[in-house]
Amino acid sequence: MSTTELAWFKSSYSGTQGDSCVEVAVTRQAVHVRDSKDVSRLPFAVGRAGWAHFVAFAAES
């Protein structure tokens, strides 16, 4: 599946002023992350377990 076919959604933590636009798309294998303000950058993907660890760490901060 190409990244253009993914169902992207904006993070609930992204700013409302358009200055912090992070979008994610979830598949069976990975969570894909992209910066919607800079379409010249390729998105990256992390395993679902790695994403879960990241979110848990971020929640503690």
pLDDT band per the 50, 70, 90 thresholds, residue 56: very high
Q: How far apart are CA 31 and CA 29, in angstroms?
A: 7
What SS3 string covers 36-58?
Answer: CCCCCCCCEEEEHHHHHHHHHHH
pLDDT band per the 50, 70, 90 thresholds, residue 1: low
pTM score, two decimals? 0.76
- pLDDT recorded at residue 33: 92
Structure token digits, residue 46 = 């992390």
**Domain spans of the chain?**
3-60
Q: For 4-50, how does the pLDDT look when each residue is reduced to its tens digit (9 = 90+)?
A: 688 988 877 666 666 667 889 999 999 999 988 887 888 999 999 99
Residue 2: pLDDT over 70: no
In the chain, the DSSP E strands lie at 9-10, 22-26, 30-35, 44-47
Q: How far apart are CA 7 and CA 59, in angstroms?
A: 24
